[in-house]
């Protein structure tokens, strides 16, 4: 076997060189992949923080919407009662006018 290696030194050197290139290339690819993984982990953590902040904002907005809705419901009830009071006042005014007419007629 050593005679064959001596006779084919260039071929053996080429194969050893290709093997080393593959090993080095694999190591470089592994390092780049690790860097990508780390970069993506950082990005995911940033998204998690952003998601949490957005969730907090949504909770506050939902609370504000609930408060506004409750206030509108109360105002709607007040308007309904006010309209009813106005109708009662109009009825009372009409009755008072009728009484005044009757009393003027007696004078």
Q: pLDDT at position 25, please?
A: 93
C-alpha to C-alpha distance for 80 and 25, rounded to whole angstroms: 80
Mean pLDDT of the chain: 92
Q: pLDDT at position 107, please?
A: 66
Kindly report, residue by residue over 52-88, the tens digit of the pLDDT.
999 999 999 999 999 999 999 999 999 999 999 999 9
Number of domains in the chain: 1
DSSP category for residue 5: H
Domain range enclosing 46: 2-106
């Amino acid at each position: 076997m050593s005679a064959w290696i001596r006779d084919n030194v260039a071929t053996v050197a080429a194969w050893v060189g290709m093997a080393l290139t593959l090993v080095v290339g694999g190591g470089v690819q592994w390092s780049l992949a690790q860097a990508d993984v780390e970069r993506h982990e950082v990005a995911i953590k940033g998204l998690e923080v952003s998601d949490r902040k957005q969730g907090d904002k949504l909770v506050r907005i939902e609370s504000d919407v609930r408060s506004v809705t409750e206030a509108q419901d109360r105002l709607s009830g007040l308007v309904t009662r006010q309209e009813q009071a106005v109708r009662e006042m109009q009825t009372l005014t009409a009755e008072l006018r009728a009484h005044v007419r009757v009393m003027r007629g007696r004078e």
